Amino acid sequence: MQKITTYLWFDNQAEEAATFYSSLFADSRILEVQRYGEAGPGPAGTAMTVSFELSGQRFVALNGGPEFTFTEAISLYVDCETQEEVDELWARLTADGGQESQCGWLKDRWGLSWQIIPRQLPELLGHPDPAKAQQVMKAMLGMHKIDLQALREAAGSA
């Protein structure tokens, strides 16, 4: 077991969210679902906690009620190998009520923030030519979903 596990607080959608998240990434699965009993505080038989793995990293989702919600102060960063991976994850995570934000950030339908970032972005932003790096930054700041080809073109235009 990993030493540190990310724990996510949901109102009552933990099992639905964990199942959805597990469908997005290879090497992902639901590990265990603990259910509320007659003592509550949730309805008997509903999920209390859901342990799951995303690409081998362990998470726990809790149905803790509406007292707490997600903020952008915490996000899940996804290192994408290709533009196609960016496109697919972006579409699936913004579907059904998700919200696009800037610079590769989005919120899924449960309000959890994600950064869907192509692996080449840090390289382009750190271009050895400061003028090219600034052109990439300027282009990125105008984007919602990251468009790797447009960033490459920006790097070439300086």
Domains in the chain, start-ordered, CATH in brackets? 1-69 (3.30.720.100), 70-158 (3.10.180.10)
Place of tokens 């972006």: 90
Residue 86 has pLDDT above 60, yes or no: yes
Whether 103 contacts 72, CB under 8 Å: no
Are 58 and 29 contacting, i.e. CB atoms less than 8 angstroms apart? no
Q: What average pLDDT does range 95-124 have in this prediction?
A: 97
Task: Supply the pLDDT for residue 40.
Answer: 86
Omega before residue 41 within 30° of 0, cis: yes
Q: Give the 3-state secondary structure of residue 32.
A: strand
Identify the residue whose tokens are 């919120």.
107
pTM above 0.95, yes or no: no
Contact of 61 with 50, CB cutoff 8 Å: yes
For the purposes of burial, counting CB atoms within 10 Å of the CB of 112, is it exposed (0-12), middle (13-18) or buried (19 or more)?
buried
pLDDT at 148: 96
